[in-house]
Amino acid sequence: MENLDVVIPRPQTIISAPGVLKVESVGEVIAGEGLERFAAVIVRNAGIMGLDFTQGGVPVKLELSPEIKVESFELDISPAEVKISGGDMAGVFYGAGAFEQLLCAAVARGTRNAEIPCGKIVDSPRFSYRGFMLDSARHFQSVETIKSVLALMAKLRLNVFHWHLCDSQGFRTESKLFPELNTLGTMKPGFYTSEDIAEIRAFAAECFITIIPEIEMPGHSQGLLALHPELCCDPGNPGKEFCLAKPEVRTFLEKLITEFAAHFPDAKVMHLGGDEADTAHWNECPECQKLMKEKGYDDIRKLENDFMNDMAAFVRSLGITPVTWFTGSVMEQSTIIQVWRSIWELKETLKNGNRMIFSVHDQLYLDYPASAAEPFENWMLVLTESGVYNTEPFAAWEKDIGDLLLGPETCLWTETVPDHRIMAKLNPRIYAFCETAWSQAKRKEWYNYVHRKEVLSACGWFDLKAL
């Protein structure tokens, strides 16, 4: 094994050099301007490992380097100095995390005579989009749980938190316009106040994580429509879908989206759902049928497609890029499409040239049981850690897709996952996922990963706080 080869996610390049760094000779951390908080974390975590990095000695230097790309870093270890250079703040943060892994592995048996081999790690992410989706609509999680998830993501260099906040079972952002929505919550009541959301946003920013909030339409809206049956095709029998034709539906949703977006003033991307809407109510609705005929359509799905494109256009008018789940409909090209049912959706989406997020369920849905010992529902497959690890988003069409594939995103739906099980569902499969999202395909080797994971687990690195 390359002696520096314990880092997760596995780096692009590891260059060994002669000599060793005696860990006890390290005595200070010198931070460039604005990097002091990373230095403080290294000093704190070194202290937990029994090392004093404040007494003067071999320095650990943190610096920004304009020659290095964003999110990328170089970690240079010699007997006389450790240098961590990042292309931006995130790059320094990730480089500091890699150094802590080496340090933690080195002192697993105590600090005495512990050493790190000299050499250099040069690393850069494979994908600029490295996502995790959490469903807070089915089961509701505390602010503390969300922050624990964000902290874990930061440790694993995941940088997009897709937050599924609204579904049939709950509407989880505070609404002053429609406060009745916050009474929903069939599996667990609760909602995030403006203050909660602000706290989570601030924490995510510290973690270099972007939030993509999701609001659902035209399906997955049973709870909301039970409170607002006038927005259904048949108010006497409200289902899960908004009526596609009633003008008051658009007025309502535009107000709701505007309020929802205001909770996330720095969000540049918003998810509009769009998946799994049933056509039964639309097929029976005189207004939907009339509008369909006026437009000359032979398929109600075309009306649904217009509806989603209109809502996406409204989101765009707020200066926000919309995302929808893949439905088979063609969305205006600037809408990002999240593929989830099959790798073939990539190929379908490619025809219209939309950008894509890769979340194919049998490779990346972490609500699926990792083993037969876990509770599961009849729609679920077993998804092992190696199954997640071996996910390859590019499949056979790499050349065609190019930059249109933003990156992969793993998803945790919570129909069967109450708050206290969130971390149990994530660990360790999310470690495997981070390597799919960050590491070059040619650097991924399952048994090598398992070894590194065991080294880092055994030495306690996963228990150290990254912030």
Q: Give contact residues for Zn ion (rule: CB under 5 A).
A: 233, 243, 245, 285, 287-288
Shortest gap between Cβ of 92 and Zn ion (angstroms)?
A: 54
Rounded distance between C-alpha atoms, residue 355 and residue 347, angstroms: 12
449 phi and psi angles, rounded to 5 deg: -60, -45
Q: 107 or 285: whose CB is closer to Zn ion?
A: 285
Scan for tokens 């219209």, then name that residue. 352
Q: Which structure tokens are listed for 203?
A: 């924490």
Do 305 and 254 touch, CB atoms closer than 8 A?
A: no
Contact assessment for residue 408 and residue 433, using Cβ atoms and an 8 Å cutoff: yes
Q: Which tokens sit at 121?
A: 């790690």
Q: How far is the CB of 220 from Zn ion (least distance, A)?
A: 17
Nearer of residues 250 and 316 to Zn ion, judged by Cβ:
250
CA pair distance 24, 292, nearest whole angstrom: 75
Q: How far is the CB of 294 from Zn ion (least distance, A)?
A: 13
* End-to-end Cα distance, the chain: 30
In terms of CB distance, is 125 or 218 closer to Zn ion?
Answer: 218
Smallest separation (angstroms) from Zn ion to the CB of 87:
52
Q: In this structure, what DSSP letter does residue 53 have? A: T
- Min CB(301)–Zn ion separation in Å: 14
Please identify which residue in the block is written with the tokens 């399952």.
Answer: 446
**Residue 242 C-beta: closest distance to Zn ion, Å:** 8
Spatial distance between the Cα atoms of 224 and 184, rounded to a whole number of angstroms = 8
**Judged by CB, which is closer to Zn ion: 9, or 218?**
218
Cα of 269 vs its chain's centroid, Å? 13
Q: Work out how close the CB of 287 gets to Zn ion at its nearest, in angstroms, rounded to a whole number.
A: 5
Pick the closer one to Zn ion by CB: 26 or 233: 233
CB of 236 to Zn ion, least distance (A): 13
6 or 285: CB nearest Zn ion: 285
Q: Are 368 and 425 in contact (CB under 8 A)?
A: no
Element at 143 (helix H, strand E)? helix 143-155
Nearer to Zn ion, 94 or 282 (CB): 282
**Minimum CB distance to Zn ion smaller for 288 or for 370:** 288
Q: What single letter denotes the amino acid at residue 33?
A: E
Bridge pairing between strands 115-123 and 73-78: antiparallel
